[in-house]
Amino acid sequence: MSTSAERQLGDRIARELYRDPDYLDDPILGDYVQGIWLRLMATARQRGELSPELQERFAWEVVIGRDRSVNAFALPGGYMGVHLGLIAMVSNEDELASVLAHELSHVTQRHIVRIISRQGQQAPWLIGAMILGALAAASNPGAAGAMIVGGQAAAVQGQLNFSRDMEREADRVGYGVMTQAGFDARGFVGMFEKLQQANRFNDTSAFPYLRSHPLTTERIADMQSRQQLQPRAAAPIALTMTHAMLAARARMLANPEVDNLRAALLQAQGQDTAALPPARRAGLYYAAVQAALGLREFDQAQQWQERLQKLAQDDAQAQVQAQLLGAELALARGDPARASDLLHSLASGAAGPSRALLFLRARAWTQAGQSREAAEQLQVWLASRPRDALGWQLLSTAYATQGQTLRAVRAEAEVHVARLDYAAARDRLRAAQELLRTGGTVDHIEASIIDTRSRQVELLLREQALER
C-alpha cells in the first residue's frame, strides 16, 4: 500500500470520527496534546525515523474523543486518537508523551501499513469500517450492539492488533524518541506501572488501551531492563499546576453530568484542601470553575477563577491557563470586555498566538462587535491552516455578525471541507450561489472564489466516489 493510499484510508476514518458526537475540538487541550505530539515528531525526524515523504503526505493530527476510558490509537495516514480519559488519568505530561511516542512509533515504523497489507485484497472501505467497528467496540463494550457482535469484534480486533514484536519495537523506539525529545524517562516507567496495575485488576473496560496493547511478559522484561538504567529510588515526577489543571479539564469534559459538577464543587469546598500541595489545589479550583460554569452559577465560577489566578500567580504557564479559563467564563456570561482584558496580557510566542488564545480572542472581538478584527486575525491563521474546521466556524460567525451573509455561508462550506464532508460543503456552496443570484449586492471577488471552490469540491466528490 502506498503512503497516499494509506492517507486516503486515514481520511476516510477521520471523516467518520469528525461526525461522531463524541468528537471534541477543545483548543486548550488540543494545544497541550498537539504540543507534545509536535515535539515528538521533530525528534523522530532528527533521528531519521520519520522520513520527509511521510511527514509531507500524512495528516499528523491528534483527534480527541470525549470518552472517559483510557485509550490512544494510531490510525492510518498519521491520524492519532486520544480519549479524554487518558489525559485525565496521567500524572504528568511525560506519561502522556510516553503513550504518544509509542503510538507515533507504530506509524513511523510502518506497523499500520503492515497490518493493513495482512488483510489481503479487502477493499479500503471495508478495512476502514473494520477499524471504526473495533474502535466503537473498544469504547463501548457494554452496548447492546457490541454485545451481539462481541465475538466478531474480538476477532476483528485480533486481526487489527499489532504483533508482539511490533509492540516491543514501538516501546523501544518510543522510549528513545520521548527521552531524546527532553521528556522525563520516569514518565515512561510511571505509565507502564499504571497499565500494569490496571492489568492486575483486569480493568480492560476502563482501559481499552490494554486490549489493543497487551502487556506481554517480554514487554515487562524490556521495561524492567530500561528501569535499571535509571538511578535507584528516583523520586516521582512532581505534579505541575499546569498538568493538574488540564487533567481536571479533561475529567470535567468527559463527565459533564450535573451530579459530577456538584461533586466537583463540594470537593473544592472541602475543609482539608488548604493542606494540599498547590498543584493539587489548582486542579480542584479549575474543576470548580468548570463545574460552576456548567451549572451556570457564574458568580461562584468567578470566585473560584479568582482564587485559581491568585494561586497560580508565580507560575507563568499555570497563569496562562487560569486566564484562558477566566476568558471562557467571561464569554459564557456575556462579558467580552473582561475576556479581552484577560487575554490582552497573554503574550504570543514567536510563531504568533496559540490556537486557544487566538480563538478566544476572536470570540471576544466578535461578541464585542469588533468582528472585523476577528475576521482579519482568523484569515491570517487559516491561510496557513486551511484544514482547521473550528477556525472556519469562528470566521463564519464573525462574518455573519458583520452582516456578510455570503462570506459566512462560504466559510461554513469550508468547515465541511475541513471535516472532509464534501457533500455538505457542496450544499453550502450551492446556497452561496443561490444568494449571489437573488441578492441585491454584487461581490465579484467573492463570486469568483465561490465558483472556483465549487469546481474543486465537485472534483473531490468525484474522487471520493471512485475510492469505493
Give the binding range for Zn ion (CB under 5 A) out of 135-143, 210-218, 237-245, 315-323.
210-218
- Nearest residue (CB) to Zn ion, 176 versus 278: 176
- Nearest residue (CB) to Zn ion, 28 versus 100: 100
Give the binding range for Zn ion (CB under 5 A) out of 30-38, 120-128, 207-215, 391-399.
207-215
Q: Report the nearest approach of Zn ion to the CB of residue 197 (Å).
A: 18
Q: Report the nearest approach of Zn ion to the CB of residue 126 (Å).
A: 23
Give the binding range for Zn ion (CB under 5 A) out of 21-29, 212-220, 281-289, 392-400.
212-220
Does residue 111 bind Zn ion (CB under 5 A)? no
Site for Zn ion in 141-160 (CB under 5 A): none
- Nearest residue (CB) to Zn ion, 214 versus 278: 214
Q: Report the nearest approach of Zn ion to the CB of residue 112 (Å).
A: 10
- Nearest residue (CB) to Zn ion, 173 versus 411: 173
Does residue 195 bind Zn ion (CB under 5 A)? no
Q: Report the nearest approach of Zn ion to the CB of residue 106 (Å).
A: 6
385: Cβ contacts below 8 Å, ≥ 6 apart: 391
Q: Report the nearest approach of Zn ion to the CB of residue 281 (Å).
A: 35
Q: Report the nearest approach of Zn ion to the CB of residue 213 (Å).
A: 4
Size of site (CB under 5 A) for Zn ion: 3
282: Cβ contacts below 8 Å, ≥ 6 apart: 241, 244, 245, 308, 311, 312, 318
43: Cβ contacts below 8 Å, ≥ 6 apart: 177, 178, 180, 181
- Nearest residue (CB) to Zn ion, 213 versus 243: 213
- Nearest residue (CB) to Zn ion, 168 versus 338: 168
- Nearest residue (CB) to Zn ion, 213 versus 428: 213
Label the pairing between strands 72-74 and 23-24.
unpaired
Label the pairing between strands 79-83 and 72-74.
antiparallel
DSSP code string of 60-127: -EEEEE---S--EEE-GGGEEEEEHHHHHH-SSHHHHHHHHHHHHHHHHTTHHHHHHHHTTT--HHHH
Q: Report the nearest approach of Zn ion to the CB of residue 282 (Å).
A: 32
- C-alpha grid cell for residue 158? 485480533
Q: Report the nearest approach of Zn ion to the CB of residue 174 (Å).
A: 8
Q: Report the nearest approach of Zn ion to the CB of residue 40 (Å).
A: 15
Q: What is the DSSP letter of 23?
A: E
Secondary element (H or E) of residue 24: strand 23-24
- C-alpha grid cell for residue 125? 472501505
Please report, for the chain, how many H helices and E strands are present, in that order. Answer: 25, 4
Does residue 170 bind Zn ion (CB under 5 A)? yes
- Nearest residue (CB) to Zn ion, 159 versus 441: 159
Rounded Cα–Cα distance for residues 419 and 18 (Å): 6
- CA–CA distance from 296 to each of 201, 266, 322, 330 (Å)? 38, 16, 19, 12
Are the CB atoms for 11 and 129 separated by under 8 Å?
Answer: no
- Nearest residue (CB) to Zn ion, 226 versus 372: 226
Binding flags for Zn ion, 343-382, as an x/- string (CB under 5 A): ----------------------------------------
**For residue 297, which of 323, 276, 272, 268 has the smallest C-alpha distance?**
268
Q: Which of 7, 66, 83, 213 lies at the binding interface for Zn ion (CB under 5 A)?
A: 213
Q: Report the nearest approach of Zn ion to the CB of residue 107 (Å).
A: 11
Order of strands, sheet of 23-24, starting from the edge strand that comes earlier in the sequence: 23-24, 61-65, 79-83, 72-74
403: Cβ contacts below 8 Å, ≥ 6 apart: none
Rounded Cα–Cα distance for residues 424 and 435 (Å): 17
Give the binding range for Zn ion (CB under 5 A) out of 121-129, 166-174, 257-265, 310-318.
166-174
- Nearest residue (CB) to Zn ion, 105 versus 367: 105
Could you tell me where the DSSP H helices lie in 255-354? 258-269, 278-294, 298-311, 316-332, 336-344
Residue numbers of the site for Zn ion (CB under 5 A)?
167, 170, 213
